[in-house]
Amino acid sequence: MKYGMVIDLEKCLGCRTCAVACKAHNGQPPGVWWNRVFTPGSKFHQTGVGEYGRMGMYFLPVCCQMCSNAPCVKVCPVGATYYDENGVVLIDYERCIGCRYCMTACPYGVRQFNWQDGKKATEKAHYAHGYSYGWPHKYRDKQGRLVYMPSRPKGVVEKCTFCAQYVNRGEAPACVRSCPANARYFGDLDDPQSEVSRLLTQRGEFRLLEDLGTQPKVYYLPARRSGGERIERI
């Protein structure tokens, strides 16, 4: 099994529901975002770019691209970042020494460091009294490695896990389930019959920074209103 995701940019509304759902479900401390949505080329989200008469606009959600040739896995000196049995790149919170080499290595800017204790950071954000968020239990993968915990220790790196705690129970990741436009698909790339595999044969899918050779397992279907342009490094 090889988990992958397909994001249909034609369907994406840029509403950022996936980013918020991801943040809430995975208990990310204030200032930490595993999943972002922006309007490429534009200073402001949801604002068109281009010249008069030739304006365009599309939205690009970016989370961990789950690279198959992942630079973060390669550089991690202690093997805290690793592939699980489904090709998902995970971080062991108990192993990470906080060297942040992986943040330098990752071309997609998705890795987030805990610059301070998670609980302390949340206190400083002044949420309503008694409010807390995030899946309330620790989650260990099949090998027993701690890849999710509701309150993050300071000094370790975190990022998207493809919602390891849900996928393990047969549910789709939070971003996929919460998207009001159904723009996200999740499934097994090894199975030619899966929805994701079938989508990949149809519309000229592309991946981000493909020429770097990271071989992401997150694919994008182009938005037609941006002229169906391929988004690649120039």
Partner 1 sequence: MKESKAWIVFLGLIVLAGLVAWGFQLKEGMVVTNMRNPFSWGIYIATFAFFVGIAAGGLIVSSSVYIFDLALLKPLARIAKITAFASAMGAAAMVLPDLGRADRVYNLLLHPNFRSPLVWDIIVITGYALVTLVSLYIDVLPDLFKQKSRLAFPVGGKTEDEVLEISRRLSRVAAYVGLPFAILIHTVTAWIFSTQVSRSWWNTAILPPDFISVAVASGTALVILVSLTVKGRETFQQYAGAYRTLASISGAFIIVHFFFMYNDFMLRWWWGAAHEMEPLLIALRDYTWLHLAEVVLPFAAMIMFLHPGTKNSFRGLYAASLILLAGVYAHRFLLMPSSYNSIPLSLPVPGVSGELWAYPIATGVYNPPQDIFVSFWNYVPSGVEVMVTLFPMALVLLVITLGVRYLPGCYESAVKASLKRTDEKTVSY
Q: Name the site residues for partner 1 (rule: CB under 8 A).
A: 29-33, 36, 38, 40-42, 49-51, 54-58, 60, 62, 71, 74-80, 95-101, 103-109, 111-117, 120-121, 124-125, 154-157, 208-209, 212-214, 226-227, 229, 231-234
The partner in contact with residue 67, picked from partner 1, ligand SF4, none with C-beta cut-offs of 5 to 8 angstroms by kind, is ligand SF4
The partner in contact with residue 159, picked from ligand SF4, partner 1, none with C-beta cut-offs of 5 to 8 angstroms by kind, is ligand SF4
Residues 6+ apart with CB under 8 A from 201: none
**Number of alpha carbons in the 13 Å side-chain half-sphere of residue 106:** 26
Alpha-carbon gap, residue 115 to 170, rounded angstroms: 33
Alpha-carbon gap, residue 126 to 128, rounded angstroms: 6
Site for ligand SF4 in 158-217 (CB under 6 A): 159, 214
Q: Which stretch binds ligand SF4 (CB under 6 A): 9-17, 35-43, 108-116, 193-201?
A: 108-116
Token pair belonging to 178: 């919460």
Is residue 110 close enough to count as binding ligand SF4 by CB under 6 A?
A: yes
Q: 187 has which bridge partners?
A: 4
To ligand SF4, the closest distance from the beta carbon of 218 in angstroms equals 8
Q: Is 5 helix (H, G, I), strand (E, B) or coil?
A: strand
The partner in contact with residue 64, picked from ligand SF4, partner 1, none with C-beta cut-offs of 5 to 8 angstroms by kind, is ligand SF4
The partner in contact with residue 115, picked from ligand SF4, partner 1, none with C-beta cut-offs of 5 to 8 angstroms by kind, is partner 1
The DSSP string of 99-150 is --HHHHH-TT---EE-SS-HHHHHHHT-PSTT---S--S-EE-TT--EEE-S
Token pair belonging to 109: 């800017």
Q: Is 165 helix (H, G, I), strand (E, B) or coil?
A: helix
What is the contact mask toward ligand SF4 in residues 68 to 97, using x (rule: CB under 6 A)?
A: --xxx--xx-x-xx-------x-x----xx
Among 6, 18, 106, 164, binds ligand SF4 (CB under 6 A): 106
Residues 6+ apart with CB under 8 A from 151: 27, 118, 119
To ligand SF4, the closest distance from the beta carbon of 56 in angstroms equals 26
Q: Which residues bind ligand SF4 (CB under 6 A)?
A: 64-67, 70-72, 75-76, 78, 80-81, 89, 91, 96-102, 106, 108, 110-111, 157, 159, 214
